[in-house]
Amino acid sequence: MQKRAIVQRFLDAGLLVHPEVVNYVSESGASGVIEGIISSLPHGVTVVTPKEVAGMTALRTDKLDVGLASIPEILAGREGASIPLSDPESSYRMFRNRYDTLAQMMKGRLTPYPIEALTRSGSKYADSDIGVIGMVVSTSTSGKGHRIVEIEDPTGFIKVLFNKNREGFDEAEKILPDEVIGVKGKLAPAQPGGISSGMVFADTFFRPDIPLTHTFSPPRGEPAKVALISDVHVGSNTFLEDSWDRFTEWMHNHPEVNYLLIDGDVVDGIGIYPNQDQELTIKTIYEQYDRVGELLSGMPKHLQIVVAPGNHDAVRGAEPQPVIPDEFRRTFHKNVSFVENPAVVSIQSVSTLMYHGRSIDDLIKFIPGASYEHPGEIMKAMLQRRHLSPIYGQRTPLLSMDQDSMIIRRVPDILHTGHVHISEVINYRGVLGVNAGTWQSQTSFQKQMNISPTPAEAVVVDLSTLSYEKYCFLK
Ligand SMILES: [Fe+2]
């Protein structure tokens, strides 16, 4: 990183920086260092001198690339990244960004025709083979059981018929509102007078998907292992503190695990569901977060921890959710980095896409056969659609922004989700999908819904191979 860029990054964060710190960042060569320094500064610091940079003196004398250099690099979802826009047009721009980005991912596989050229009167493409890329407006089933999907591109709307007798019809039944698909098929013959039928008979369809050529690149740097967990729910009377203590002890005995990623719902929150106060042992949000900070302080000191928010945390519910604010970090140590939901963190060049997973509720509702018992299927659905929360207007509120932050722009090495409290690990086209369990025993809501959670489990991934092991700390 060039020195000028280093100074600029500090300025962007509202900080002046001492030349020695600039040299230190420049020499370290690790791009995560600068973000680590900014995120770990004590309150009220406006000038960053060597004194504020923990471990800097030791690092400069022994030249070891340890300590701060191992701070995860936040590639997306850094503090302040998602700012709500009041401009109502921003919603349109966000969906246009979704269409353009996902359409671009599919253009190697088909050449789309503008829908307007297919639907205009006298279209020369009537009764011909065509390709289109569109965002799904609506889905329905015809009287004969075929799937009718209306799609739109920036030029118009058209209906696509998926014949129930064709191979691959089961995938067509999983087409979701607001996802972007590519279709190859035949435009129906024109009606009398050259009027377009406005219908495509689909032969095949595509999703942006993970390329078949995707492979995992082993990391650079020291060997590292990361523990993935989610949904700690501190403050609830079902939080499994004894199990957490066993996990903490295990972490002390396994120093090779040097990262801990927590994917939201670190606290149970306040007023999240009716009569929640009757199920809380810690009745204020500040004290709940204080307790989380204390529990994390009991973890080994070498550990780097990343915390993202979930729908129980004290932040805006609309996604992307901002980082857990400063006012709740009173007891957290400097080895904890806070990210938005979703976020991409890189540890020695291995990228993990962290997403709490609120949209899993919506995807289970819309994908035939999907269930809470198999969140792995939902992670696969997200990767295929290259989108974390494709369906708009259901239970997952989405923030209006110029860019669609829920797009999976870059193929991650690991997709880390949570929310449903059931652990499952998949490998889809070389991407490791980990839905972490919970640190809460079965809740009254889960009892009503007949959901059996996976409590007190950590999934530990070896970043040099992406191999993993599950460890249970329930007893
Ligand atoms: Fe949760």
Q: What are phi and psi of 180, to 5 degrees?
A: -110, 125
Query: Which pLDDT score is estimated for 65?
Result: 36
How far is residue 277's CA from residue 294's CA, in Å, rounded to a whole number? 22
Q: Is the model's pLDDT at 348 over the cut of 50?
A: yes
Residue 283 belongs to some domain of the structure: yes
Answer whether 337's CB lies under 8 Å from 306's CB: yes
Spacing of C-alpha 267 from chain mean position: 19
Q: What is the pLDDT of residue 13?
A: 84
Statement to judge: residues 281 and 231 lie in one domain: yes
Confidence band, pLDDT 50/70/90 cuts, at residue 56: low
DSSP reduced 3-state for 37: helix
Res 58: pLDDT: 37
Mean pLDDT of the residues in the chain: 91
* Residues 112-137: tens digit of each pLDDT: 999 999 999 999 999 999 999 999 99
Looking at residue 129, its amino acid is: D
Backbone angles phi, psi at 461, to 5 degrees: -110, 130
Instruction: Give the distance (Å) from ligand 1 centre to CA of residue 419.
Output: 5
> Span 3-28, mean pLDDT?
80
What CATH number does residue 161 fall under?
A: 2.40.50.140
**What is the per-residue pLDDT for 54?**
61
Q: How far apart are CA 157 and CA 150, in angstroms?
A: 7
What are 235's two structure tokens? 């403050």
User: Separation of 380 CA from ligand 1 center, angstroms?
Assistant: 20
C-alpha of residue 233 to centroid of ligand 1, in Å? 7
User: For residues 354 and 343, is the Cβ–Cβ distance under 8 A?
Assistant: yes
- What is the arithmetic mean of pLDDT over 350-360? 97
d(CA 468, CA 228): 10
What's the average model confidence in pLDDT over 206-225?
Answer: 90
Q: How far is the CA of 310 from the centre of ligand 1 (A)?
A: 7
Express each pLDDT in 132-147 by its tens digit: 999 999 999 999 999 9
Note whether 376 and 265 are same-domain residues: yes
Residues 17-44 have pLDDT tens digits of 887 788 777 766 666 678 778 877 766 7
Same domain, 180 and 146: yes
Do 321 and 229 sit in the same domain of this protein? yes
**If you measure from the C-alpha of residue 191 to the centroid of ligand 1, how many angstroms do you get, rounded to a whole number?**
54
* pLDDT surpassing 60 at residue 429: yes
Which of 413, 458, 452, 466 is closest to 439 using CA atoms?
A: 458
Asked if residue 433 is part of any domain, the answer here is yes
Regarding whether 341 and 279 lie in a shared domain, the answer is yes
Predicted pLDDT at 369: 94
Please, are residues 266 and 299 in contact by the beta-carbon 8 Å criterion?
no
pLDDT value for 61 = 29
**Structural domain span for residue 10:** 3-71
Token pair of 362 as six digits: 């919506």
